Structure formats: structure tokens, C-alpha cells
Amino acid sequence: MIYTYRTNIYKIHDYSRHLKNLTDDDKISRFGYLITDYMIDKLILDMCYHPSEHELWYARTDDTRVGWGHLARNPDNSWELAVSVDRDHQRQGIGNKLISEMLEFAKFHHISEIYMHCIEDNRVIQHLASKHELKTRERGAGERTAALEVPEPTFIEANKQLWKEQTEILKEMGKLRNRLTNLWTNPMLPK
Ligand SMILES: CC(C)(COP(=O)(O)OP(=O)(O)OC[C@H]1O[C@@H](n2cnc3c(N)ncnc32)[C@H](O)[C@@H]1OP(=O)(O)O)[C@@H](O)C(=O)NCCC(=O)NCCS
């Protein structure tokens, strides 16, 4: 079973490890060139400095995280979508599920334009792009851009996303309540 979650900066070390562990071919497909660990560290540092410009999702099996989705905001307010799945877990519907989650989030949060860079011979991502109605166009030098003007969510999509985000917030509130309980039940008060 595959589960997907939106996450925050606290899991960023796992995202970094995932990117560094991609095969060379997958790094080229994901970034358009063979990115080094140093460049990945720079990307991660930029995410730490500008957390509000980045949204992250991960997919996990029962015991391990196996794929990541990333939306990054540009200065012109368009967002770049990127996705990557561990080699051993590809072709199991995970990339597709992550893209669906990201697009649902985008619709609900009034993100109006999303695009993704695809290298020319990456047929899988081009297939997924067109499956999600991102229109691809050539950019030359073996690259394509797949872009989508994000439509308004349907009533059902909006409610689904509302419910999902409300559940996330209630989970966070549960954690805070536990902290508060611990604070009052295990105090180190002066005698
Ligand atoms: C691209 C990537 C994220 C896809 O993830 P995935 O989990 O393997 O993809 P899925 O299993 O969800 O979907 C694969 C789809 O491609 C189709 N496919 C498989 N091989 C194909 C091929 N040679 N040509 C066209 N379509 C193909 C599958 O049939 C499936 O489509 P379907 O759901 O309509 O049946 C993954 O391959 C990856 O991490 N690649 C390296 C990083 C990358 O390229 N990222 C994209 C650029 S940001």
C-alpha cells in the first residue's frame, strides 16, 4: 500500500538523502543535468531559507519513504512541479499519485500556473504530464516544458482537500496537546 502526505521542512534531510541517492540517469531526468551532492545541498539550503516558497510531499510504503513531490514558487508567481521516485519503486503508480496530490493542492490554493521541465527522452514523465493535462512544448536542447493553467477545483475536489488539510491540522493540534500534557504532568518545578 502506498500513502502520500504533504510535509514540511522537518523532513527535508530525508528529501536531500532521496535526491542524492537517485541513480545518475534519474538525476539527469529530474534536474536536466547530473546534479552533484553539493548542488543538492545548495537547493536544500535555499529551501530552508525560503520555506514559504516550497511545498513538499512524500510517498511511503508501510515502512519507508519512496518518492517525493516538490512545488517551488518562482518570482513571477508561477510554480515549478518536480517529482522523483526511488528506482526500486518506479512504475507502481507513485509518481502519478504524487502529481495528483500536488495538483489538488494547487487548485485549492489558487495557484494559477504550474510547469515542469521534462527532458526530451523522458517518455514516462511526458506521459504523466499529458495524463494530468499539462501541455508540453519544445524548448530546444532536448528539453520540453509541460505547463498547466490550473483550473478552479470542483465542489468535490475542494471538499476533499479541505477535509485533508483539516485532518493535518487536527493531527498537529494532537501533538501540541500531548506536549502540553507532558509539560504539566512531568514538570521540573523548584521544590
Ligand atoms: C518520472 C517518475 C517520477 C515517474 O514515477 P513512477 O512512479 O514510475 O510513475 P507511475 O508508475 O505513476 O506512472 C508511470 C506511467 O508511465 C507509463 N509508462 C511507462 N513506461 C513508459 C514509456 N516508455 N513511455 C510512455 N509511458 C510509459 C506507465 O504506463 C504509467 O502510466 P499509466 O499510469 O497511465 O499506466 C519516475 O520515473 C522518476 O523518479 N524518474 C526520475 C526523475 C524524473 O524523471 N522526474 C520527472 C522530471 S521532474
Copy the grid coordinates of residue 84: 522523483
pTM for this prediction: 0.91
pLDDT in tens, 103-155: 999 999 989 889 998 888 888 998 999 899 888 777 666 777 888 888 888 99
Ligand 1 atom at minimum distance from 122 CA: 44
Asked if residue 85 has its Cβ within 6 Å of ligand 1, the reply is yes
Give the DSSP letter string of 61-121: -SS-EEEEEEEEE-TTS-EEEEEEE-GGGTTSSHHHHHHHHHHHHHHHTT--EEEEEEETT
Q: pLDDT at residue 99 above 90?
A: yes
Task: Name the residue with the closest Cα to ligand 1, atom 1.
Answer: 125
